[in-house]
């Protein structure tokens, strides 16, 4: 819901007062005093975004602590009142009406949007207004307005896409000296360590609300489905990191006064862990969660040993004429090109970029066969890939017939299908569960279900001779976060490989068949 600008009394009917600069004592006679060079906007459109909820006793002092140099260089200071139950809004309107601050704006939401919801509305405002930089400042005075230029200067210089104020850096004596309760300090450190390890980051603090962003970077991030709660700050870090934006930390002091803390610590910690887990599940293509759904790749390349892509790479080798059916975004085909193969792609909706290096890419309704490709001369391909495709077709016959005609005399068709009677599915059925998911053996888009016997029968029916068989192992890395080259995954894969070889019908995750005409 978009807030509306406030109508204030005419400047001709009210005396105009100045809002004197009143920094906290520790900022008055120190090296932290503002410098014109640091505060210089260098032509950038900078906005200060003040989130306020029941900030009646603190908001005026927050505005008075903004340095004159910052007031001169920023374009707007916007107070977003989140439907406060006290007179925060009326106070802000009064300050706007009575003081000589033409850059001050006051907006109010008709209903409370929550901490994250208020931020989403504010960032949308600055994106729509075409700003270059926005700095998030809290109306309760917990973060130092005196340091606003420290926050936006790295963005002005082009050194980062996001700047976070960190209370854990020791430049101001550290968080405990600033009055942070010990239990909050310990909780902050534990959560930050967990998030750094899970995401591969090295931040000193994830949970500071003092933030500055390049607005053009924010515009490239989907914010609409992020939480409206307090862990919004963590979710936006996750998205910045995933999209490879540069994050920089600057030291800030810690202030703890008599402001009301509205965060339930245990609930917040649980939400943080859940946010990270949901991101990891989405990015590893285990299941898609709405706040990160743009990062979900239904048919991502399987990097582990004994996977269908691992076997396909081995079976193709180099110097082959390859037809990749279901090329999607070209991720796997581009690797085959790099290995020295000539690759032609076909898909219902191909999204292969030019840099992938394909010979050609053709759209086709695979239910009807290969479309325009079926008119090419016989025997033009050495390898034809049908990885994870047959289970999505109502009738695979036309496609298999076209493939057989285009396959060279000694060419090989490489097919992979899920093993529907894998142990995990059998256990689910045993306990009365048959639940579809975003990917995996019971992908909701699967129309056919195969076993070792039925996929062999299908290929023989359409004129193929089976010349090879491989079985993939259960992809534990989809459930447990492990690096493909890491020792834990290699050990688990070898163990699963032994079990799969001993009882493929029970343990095989996918069946990979090699067939010739």
Task: Read off the pLDDT of each residue in 490-505 and give the average, rounded to a whole number.
Answer: 89
User: pTM of the prediction?
Assistant: 0.76
What is the per-residue pLDDT for 261? 56
Confidence of residue 32 (pLDDT cuts 50, 70, 90): low
For each of the domains in the chain, give its residue range(s) and CATH number, in order of start: 35-263 (3.90.550.10), 308-516 (3.40.50.150)
Confidence of residue 296 (pLDDT cuts 50, 70, 90): confident
- CB-based contact 455:404 (threshold 8 Å): no
What is the per-residue pLDDT for 302? 77
- pLDDT > 90 fraction of the chain, expressed in percent and rounded: 71
Task: Read off the pLDDT of each residue in 353-369 and give the average, rounded to a whole number.
Answer: 93
- Give one DSSP letter per residue of 440-486, joined into a string: STTBTT----B-HHHHHHHHHHTT-EEEEEEEPPP-GGGTS---TTS
> Does 6 score more than 70 pLDDT?
no
For the chain, what is the mean pLDDT? Answer: 90
pLDDT in tens, 467-487: 999 999 988 776 666 666 667
> Does 298 score more than 80 pLDDT?
no
Between CA 475 and CA 305 the distance in angstroms is 10
What is the per-residue pLDDT for 281? 87
Task: Name the range with the highest mean pLDDT among 172-176, 270-274, 441-445, 482-486.
Answer: 270-274
What is the per-residue pLDDT for 449? 94
Confidence of residue 8 (pLDDT cuts 50, 70, 90): very low
Could you tell me which residues are beta bridge partners of residue 369? Answer: none
Residue scoring higher pLDDT (97 or 255): 97
Task: Read off the pLDDT of each residue in 27-37 and give the average, rounded to a whole number.
Answer: 67
What is the per-residue pLDDT for 217? 97
Between CA 406 and CA 402 the distance in angstroms is 6
Task: Read off the pLDDT of each residue in 359-372 and give the average, rounded to a whole number.
Answer: 93
> Does 142 score more than 70 pLDDT?
yes
What is the per-residue pLDDT for 305? 79
pLDDT in tens, 97-107: 998 899 999 99
Task: Read off the pLDDT of each residue in 390-407 and give the average, rounded to a whole number.
Answer: 95
Between CA 125 and CA 134 the distance in angstroms is 10
What is the per-residue pLDDT for 11? 45
Between CA 77 and CA 507 the distance in angstroms is 61
Task: Read off the pLDDT of each residue in 76-81 and give the average, rounded to a whole number.
Answer: 97
- CA distances (Å), origin 254, targets 76, 257, 483: 26, 10, 37
Task: Read off the pLDDT of each residue in 50-67 and give the average, rounded to a whole number.
Answer: 95
- CB-based contact 56:91 (threshold 8 Å): yes
């Amino acid at each position: 819901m978009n807030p509306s600008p406030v109508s204030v009394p005419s400047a001709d009917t009210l005396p105009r007062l100045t809002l004197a600069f009143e920094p906290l004592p520790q900022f008055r006679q120190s090296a932290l005093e503002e410098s014109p060079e640091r505060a210089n906007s260098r032509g950038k459109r900078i906005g200060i975004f003040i989130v306020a909820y029941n900030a009646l006793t603190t908001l005026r002092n927050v505005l008075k602590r903004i340095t004159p140099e910052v007031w001169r260089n920023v374009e707007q200071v916007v107070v977003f009142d989140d439907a406060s139950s006290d007179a925060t809004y009326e106070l802000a309107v009064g300050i706007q009406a009575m003081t000589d601050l033409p850059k001050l704006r006051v907006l109010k939401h008709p209903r409370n949007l929550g901490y994250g919801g208020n931020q989403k509305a504010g960032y949308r405002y600055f994106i729509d207004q075409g700003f270059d930089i926005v700095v998030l400042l809290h109306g309760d005075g917990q973060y130092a307005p005196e340091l606003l230029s420290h926050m936006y200067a790295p963005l002005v210089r082009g050194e980062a896409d996001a700047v976070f104020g960190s209370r854990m850096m020791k430049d101001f004596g550290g968080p405990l000296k600033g009055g942070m309760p010990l239990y909050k300090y310990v909780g902050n450190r534990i959560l930050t360590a967990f998030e750094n390890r899970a995401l591969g980051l090295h931040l000193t603090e994830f949970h500071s609300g003092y933030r500055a962003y390049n607005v053009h970077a924010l515009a490239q991030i989907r914010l609409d489905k992020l939480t409206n709660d307090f862990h919004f700050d963590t979710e936006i870090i996750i998205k910045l990191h995933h999209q490879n934006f540069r994050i920089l930390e600057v030291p800030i002091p810690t202030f703890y006064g008599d402001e009301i803390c509205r965060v339930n610590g245990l609930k917040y910690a649980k939400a943080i862990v859940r946010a990270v887990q949901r991101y990891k599940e989405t990015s590893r293509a285990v299941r898609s969660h709405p706040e990160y759904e743009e990062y979900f790749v239904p048919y991502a390349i399987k990097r582990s040993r004994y996977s269908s892509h691992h076997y396909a790479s081995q079976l193709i080798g180099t110097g082959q004429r390859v037809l990749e059916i279901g090329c999607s975004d070209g991720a796997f085909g581009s690797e085959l090109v790099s290995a020295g193969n000539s690759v032609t792609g076909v898909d219902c909706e191909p999204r292969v970029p030019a840099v992938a290096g394909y010979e050609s890419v053709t759209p086709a309704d695979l239910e009807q066969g290969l479309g325009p490709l079926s008119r090419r001369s016989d025997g033009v391909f050495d390898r034809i890939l049908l990885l994870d495709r047959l289970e999505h077709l109502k009738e695979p016959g036309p496609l298999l017939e076209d493939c057989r005609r285009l396959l060279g005399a000694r060419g090989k068709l490489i097919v992979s299908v899920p093993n529907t009677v894998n142990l995990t599915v059998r256990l689910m059925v045993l306990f009365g569960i048959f639940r579809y998911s975003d990917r995996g053996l019971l992908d909701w888009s699967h129309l056919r279900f195969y076993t070792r016997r039925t996929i062999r029968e299908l290929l023989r029916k359409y004129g193929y001779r089976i010349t090879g068989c491989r079985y993939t192992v259960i992809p534990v890395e989809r459930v447990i976060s492990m690096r493909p080259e890491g020792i834990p995954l290699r050990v688990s894969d070898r163990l699963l490989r032994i079990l799969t070889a001993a009882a493929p019908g029970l343990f095989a995750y996918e069946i990979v068949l090699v067939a010739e005409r």
